[in-house]
């Protein structure tokens, strides 16, 4: 426990050191408040560090044919920013309610590492890298290596997620569908994000990621390999086989929100819908 810490660090270095001593980083607080509701009610919360003053975590920029998104960018900002790939904007606009989107941050959504995190499937599909900083410096790693399990990441105790780097112009067609129990403000039951480069009605490159159907976001290298090089009409006729591949790739469970059977069947339907959307624009 930290005895006297500054809850408003002015530098990343200061924030990282406070975190190492046990303080909990607080950005939008939308997940934090739910996870720590009991502790809040009994006044037993760990010490916080509020990150909002840290300029290094803010802003959206375009270095070297990429988009760099500061970890504190809110879902609301990402929903409307023209620099952000539409696939990610659309997913961020599906998160919670307007009030929640105004507070929730991209960095928080990533570090929460929930398989139902709505920004994650697009980030996986777009090939996002995360930028991690510590008193020792910065490092980059692919998001799929950063998230190690449900609710866990490879972030070290003195590290903070500082930004997300997205390549641009790698893909030209996108698909996103979130299935949730009601139209808005609901936790995802199953979702799919797909990014593809399609030239002359042929798949040059495709990457897809499913949400809420496994312990983490599910990537599909075999399905991607099966699709790459195919023409759209070939893909359309391969839909039955691809649906079976989806059902074998994902690892859904029964829980209080839905059933494994439903998630498996709907995940397969979403890929079929994606291919039909690409094939019949």
Partner 1 sequence: MPFSKDEDRIDTIGKCCGTTRYVGDLSFDNMLEAVTVRSTVRRGKIKKISLPEMPDGYFCVDASDIPHQNQVTYFQDTCPYFAESEVKYIAQPIMLMVGPDLRKVRRLAQKVQIDYEEIPAIHTLDEALEGTKPPMHNDDNVYFKEDFSYGDIDGAFAGSDEIFETQTRTGYQEHLYLETQGVVAVPETGKMTVYASTQGPHAIRKALGGAFGCDEEYFRIQQMPLGGGFGGKIETPFFLAGHAAFAASKCKQPVRLIYSREEDLLATTKRHPSRIVIRSALDAKGNILGVDIDVVFQAGGYALSCRMVLDTGLKKATGVYHFPAARVLGRAVATNNPMAGAYRGFGGPQTFFAIETHMNALARKFKRDPLQFKADYFIKQGTDTLTGGKYHFHVALPETIKEAARLADYERRKKEQVQHGPILRGIGQALFSFGAPFSLGTNQPLPNRCMGLLKRKDGRVEILSELVDMGQGLHTALRKIVARALKIPIERIIYKDADTDRVPEASITGASMSVVLFGRVLKDAADKLKPRLEEPGEFSVLEKVKQPDHLQWDPVKQQGDPFHSYVWGTVIAQVEVNTLTWQVAARKIWTALDVGTPIDRRIIKGQIDGGTIQGLGYSLLESMPMDAMPASLADYIIPTSLDVPPVESALIANPYPPGPYGAKCVGEPPLIGVGPAIVDAVANACGIELFQLPVSPEYLMQKMANKS
Residues making contact with partner 1 (CB under 8 A): 34, 37, 41-44, 97, 177, 179, 181-187, 256-259, 261-262, 265-266, 269-270, 273
Angstrom CA distances, 51 to 34, 43, 54, 153, 162, stand at 19, 21, 6, 19, 10
In a 10 Å sphere around its CB, with 0-12 CB exposed, 13-18 middle and 19+ buried, how is residue 247 labelled? middle
The SS3 assignment for 148 reads: strand
- Give the nearer residue to partner 1 in terms of CB position, either 37 or 244: 37
- Give the nearer residue to partner 1 in terms of CB position, either 14 or 273: 273
Closest CA to 133 of 208, 49, 71, 189: 71
- Give the nearer residue to partner 1 in terms of CB position, either 52 or 261: 261
Nearest distance from C-beta of residue 173 to partner 1, angstroms: 19
Nearest distance from C-beta of residue 260 to partner 1, angstroms: 10
Closest CA to 242 of 261, 218, 210, 220: 220
Nearest distance from C-beta of residue 172 to partner 1, angstroms: 24
Nearest distance from C-beta of residue 92 to partner 1, angstroms: 17
- Give the nearer residue to partner 1 in terms of CB position, either 148 or 265: 265
Separation of alpha carbons 270 and 145, rounded Å: 25
**Alpha helical stretches, state H, 131-170:** 143-146
Angstrom CA distances, 169 to 144, 163, 208, 245, 246, stand at 20, 19, 16, 28, 27
Nearest distance from C-beta of residue 34 to partner 1, angstroms: 7
- Going by DSSP bridges, is the β-strand pair 190-199/147-149 parallel, antiparallel, or unpaired? unpaired
- Give the nearer residue to partner 1 in terms of CB position, either 35 or 248: 35
- Give the nearer residue to partner 1 in terms of CB position, either 42 or 65: 42
Nearest distance from C-beta of residue 271 to partner 1, angstroms: 11
């Amino acid at each position: 426990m930290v005895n006297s810490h500054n809850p408003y660090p002015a530098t990343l270095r200061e924030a990282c050191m406070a975190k190492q001593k046990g303080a909990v980083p607080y950005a939008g607080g939308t997940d934090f408040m739910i996870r720590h509701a009991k502790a809040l009610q009994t006044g037993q919360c760990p010490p916080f560090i509020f990150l909002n003053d840290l300029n290094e975590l803010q802003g959206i920029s375009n270095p070297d044919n990429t988009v760099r998104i500061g970890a504190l960018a809110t879902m609301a900002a990402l929903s409307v920013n023209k620099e952000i790939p539409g696939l990610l904007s659309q997913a961020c606009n599906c998160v919670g309610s307007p009030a929640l989107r105004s507070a929730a941050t991209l960095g928080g959504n990533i570090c929460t590492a929930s398989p139902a995190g709505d920004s994650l499937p697009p980030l996986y599909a777009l090939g996002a890298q995360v930028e991690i900083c510590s008193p020792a410096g910065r490092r980059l790693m692919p998001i799929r290596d950063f998230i190690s399990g449900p609710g866990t990441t490879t972030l070290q105790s003195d590290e903070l997620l500082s930004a997300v780097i997205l390549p641009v112009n790698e893909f030209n067609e996108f698909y996103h569908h979130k299935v949730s129990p009601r139209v808005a403000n609901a936790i995802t039951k199953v979702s799919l994000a797909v990014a593809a480069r399609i030239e002359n009605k042929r798949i040059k490159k495709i990457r897809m990621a499913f949400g809420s159907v496994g312990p983490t976001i599910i990537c599909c290298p075999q399905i991607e390999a099966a699709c790459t090089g195919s023409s759209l009409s070939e893909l359309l006729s391969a839909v039955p086989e691809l649906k079976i591949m989806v059902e074998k790739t994902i690892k859904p469970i029964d829980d209080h929100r839905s059933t494994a059977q439903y998630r498996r069947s709907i995940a397969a339907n979403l890929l079929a819908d994606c291919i039909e959307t690409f094939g019949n624009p």
